[in-house]
Amino acid sequence: MDEEIKNTEPELDELGVCQKERDEYLAGWRRAKADLANFKKEEMERVQKMVKMGNENIVRDVVAILDSFDLGITATGAESAAGKGMMLIKTQLEDALKRHGLQPIRAEKGTMFDPTHHEALGEIESELPDGVVVEEIERGYSLNERVIRPVRVIVSKAKQSK
């Protein structure tokens, strides 16, 4: 009796091993299939994001040109013929970028400093409350709601005279 059981044991074991292996392989296969399906979905998202990112890199470089226009218009005088021309070219460029999702981010004097859109370049003692924007140094931009350049500002510091 004992022997019989012993004899059948290895067979059962072998079957058990096979079953275990089968389950493992099946699970592995399912996982691989699922991975592929997920990968495809992600890949689609990634491609879309790549397109956006590609735009982002271009726009990031181009906004530096918008800065130069701003400075140029200020230096030339917005009322002069050259200044007006420059202004028009700037508007044209800006409009083109707006169509692709570019939005300027401004920081009004007196608004609370907010690191989600602002970057502080320095601080200055002023009459304004502590921690509010005193001056906008460089305009910020967002592309399709994502900040590609924070607006650079100077922040007020409470006067030390106590």
Partner 1 sequence: MAKILGIDLGTTNSAMAVMEGGEPKILENHEGNRTTPSIVAMSKANERLIGLLAKRQAVVNPKNTIYSVKRLIGRKFKDAEVQRDRALFPFEVRESVQGGIEVKMGETWNSPEVISSMILQKLKADAEAKLGETIDEAVITVPAYFDDSQRQATKNAGEIAGFKVRRIVNEPTAAAFAYGMNRMKNEKIAVYDFGGGTFDISVLEIGFDAESKEQTVEVKATGGDTHLGGDDFDKRIIDHLIAEYKKQEGVDVSKDPLAVQRLKEAAERAKHELSTAMESEINLPYITSDASGPKHFVMKLSRAKLESLVQDMIDHSIALVKEAVTAAAPKGAGLKIEDINEVLLVGGQTRMPAIQEAVKKLFGKEPHKGINPDEVVAVGAAVQAGILQGDVKDILLLDVTPLTLSIETLGGVATPMIQKNTTVPTAKTQVFSTAADNQTSVEVHIGQGERPLMADNKTLARFILDGIPPSPRGMPQVEVTFDIDANGILSVSAKDKASGKSQTVKIEASTSLNKEEIERLKQEAATHAAEDQKKREVIEIKNQAESLVYVAEKSLKDAGDKVTAELKDAITKKIERVKEVKDKDDAEVIKQATQELSTELQKIGEMMYKDTKPNPEAAGPQPEQPTQ
Contact by Cβ (8 Å): 109, 140: no
Pick the binder of partner 1 from 67, 92, 100, 110 (CB under 8 A): 67
Site for partner 1 in 27-66 (CB under 8 A): 28, 31-32, 35-36, 38-39, 61, 64
Burial class, 11, CB count within 10 angstroms (exposed 0-12 / middle 13-18 / buried 19+): exposed
Positive or negative CA dihedral for 65, 68, 73, 76?
A: negative
Pick the binder of partner 1 from 123, 126, 128, 142 (CB under 8 A): 123
Q: Is 81 in the site for partner 1 (CB under 8 A)?
A: no
Q: Is 150 in the site for partner 1 (CB under 8 A)?
A: yes
Q: Is 140 in the site for partner 1 (CB under 8 A)?
A: no
Q: Is 125 in the site for partner 1 (CB under 8 A)?
A: no
Q: Is 94 in the site for partner 1 (CB under 8 A)?
A: no
Contact by Cβ (8 Å): 133, 154: yes
